Amino acid sequence: MNLEERVLQLRTRLGEICDVSATVSMLHWDQQTYMPPKAGEGRGKQIATLSALRHRLFTSSEMTHLLESFRDDLENLPDDSRPLVEVTLYDFDRDAKLPEDFVQELAQSESNAFEAWVQAHERSEYSIFQPHLEKLVDLQKRKTDYLGFEGESYNALLEGYERGMTTERVSAVFQEIGHAQSELVQAISETEPPSYHWLAQVWKQQNQWDFGMKVLSDIGYNFSSGRQDLSAHPFTTTFGPQDVRVTTRVHEDDLFSALMSTLHEGGHALYEQGFEEADERTFLAEAASLGIHESQSRMWENMIGRSLPFWEHYLLYFRQSFPGQLDSVDAIDVYKAINRVERSLIRVEADECTYNLHVILRFELEREMLSGNLKPRDLPEAWNAKIEKYLGIPVPDDANGCLQDVHWSSASFGYFPTYALGNLYAAQLFEKILEEIPDFWSHIESGDFKPLLSWLRDRVHRHGRRLTTPEIIQQATGSELESQPYINYLKNKYEPLYGISENPSIATLSPSEGVGISTRGSN
């Protein structure tokens, strides 16, 4: 076969593999939304079978022979085909190191662990989940041995989520932002907190749902290619660019939880809906990394959804959604409330100033478990100690402690750092957005999100995995990953909000003066 015929055959085989992956994703989505409780054991077997089938298809002798035939022809490939072959070879070289029986065992163990995590979380009984976590930690250690690594073994797992990133680099960046954020949180804690008495009401679930659905549609989420549902832990899942689904959760005693989850997952979904049509059913129609994926969700949730111009636009709709409950509240009241800084236990509910501290402690804990310095049986005690260290608050039970996240039940070791990296990427991209769209905040205040979405489609979304995350950041911003833009963002937003700087009061700032983020440095 000539080169063109081999590329066509590769696309055909990748289409089959992607179809199996999409089916596995569908089973996971159903497991977390509508699956009946007793179906868990059978679902685990289904997922394990299909995961093994996907691995078998990808590492088959035919696929191996086809991919090996490209290694000496990379320079001869046309520009539109070379990224496809290079990305597939990269994934193949990692996947081929994992034995099929290991892949099947891991998938079955993850499914079993998820069901155990649900029960343990509901009952706040870590002992239910502990043996499953012990099993998964052992499997992750085996996985790092199969994959190989330089430096510490955690690098092998981090590479699967954030290609090219190292544990050493993450540690250095986390030191920088951890120090800056701890100082900011301490300064804020010494101020007199504003009154949020109006939040102490019952906010009907349906009203919250309807408002969130409107916002999700307004920002550009295509409901003809997706849907929103309820789940215990909000997530986004993709079966292809034309079927990208999100979930949220609603608490009637928390006015903003559902909306922020909807915006967050909506940001993820907009990214997935923005991949090139030509890349569908290939590995190119995927995020370059989970960090760049998270940058999209954090940008929509925090830099847009928690901005004053956003609430200047939505205040009327907000009042109409909750008749009689918000009549005395103005946009600045909402802005202050939605940006309140409080040391809290739950990562997904954490404010911007403390969020990364939640990520850093998880990063440290899973590194310790993987190295063997921390036994899973001792996780609750270690977790509580780190919460005390970073946030200075007691942990009342395991549901609000080490059982709050679903990630370890799916063996997602190496995943957590990408949340904080996403914040850094988002701030860096947003500086450039404000530079290139001078009237940006006027668009947001009028409810026009198209300029932002268009910029992101062009600079981030359409590339999929045709570019790596470092390449996307470099091309979009002109520099490599930096921590200072995010530190500047937090200082420029929260210091005036809490009156801990010489900057003017937030109440006197108009959108054009930089409410939400400043591109200037902060001393």
pLDDT in tens, 488-501: 999 999 999 999 86
The span from the CA of 362 to the CA of 350, in Å, is 14
pLDDT in tens, 26-64: 999 999 899 998 998 899 899 989 999 999 999 999 999
User: Is the pLDDT at 435 greater than 70, yes or no?
Assistant: yes
User: Is the pLDDT at 517 greater than 60, yes or no?
Assistant: no
Segment 309-313 long-range contacts (CB within 8 Å, at least 24 positions apart): 309/441, 309/442, 309/444, 309/445, 309/511, 309/515, 309/516, 310/444, 310/445, 311/335, 311/338, 312/445, 312/511, 313/444, 313/445, 313/446, 313/447
Residue 265 is among the residues annotated as catalytic for this protein: yes
The span from the CA of 497 to the CA of 500, in Å, is 8
- Burial of residue 515, with CB atoms counted within 10 A of its CB: 0-12 exposed, 13-18 middle, 19 or more buried: buried
Report the pLDDT averaged over residues 343-362.
94
Edge-to-edge strands of the sheet including 243-248? 228-230, 243-248, 236-240
pLDDT confidence band for 381 (50 / 70 / 90) = very high
What pLDDT does residue 193 have? 84
What pLDDT does residue 1 have? 81
CA atoms 396, 236, 307, 476: torsion sign: positive
What pLDDT does residue 241 have? 87
pTM as predicted: 0.89
pLDDT confidence band for 195 (50 / 70 / 90) = confident
Which helix or strand (DSSP H or E) is residue 245 part of?
strand 243-248
User: Is the pLDDT at 516 greater than 50, yes or no?
Assistant: no
Domain locations in the chain? 3-148, 167-374+410-513
pLDDT in tens, 466-487: 999 999 999 999 999 999 999 9
Q: Give the architecture (CATH level 2) of 167-374+410-513.
A: Orthogonal Bundle (1.10)
Q: What is the DSSP string of 294-330?
A: HHHHHIIIIIITTSHHHHHHHHHHHHHHSTTTSTT--
User: Is the pLDDT at 514 greater than 60, yes or no?
Assistant: no
DSSP three-state, residue 228: strand
- Average pLDDT taken over every residue of the chain: 93
The span from the CA of 69 to the CA of 61, in Å, is 12
The span from the CA of 386 to the CA of 511, in Å, is 38
User: Is the pLDDT at 515 greater than 50, yes or no?
Assistant: no
pLDDT in tens, 60-71: 999 999 999 999
The span from the CA of 419 to the CA of 294, in Å, is 6
| The length of the chain, given as a count of residues | 523
The span from the CA of 275 to the CA of 383, in Å, is 38
What pLDDT does residue 502 have? 55
Query: Which residue in 159, 265, 301, 482 is the catalytic one?
Result: 265
Report the pLDDT averaged over residues 125-142.
98
User: Is the pLDDT at 424 greater than 70, yes or no?
Assistant: yes
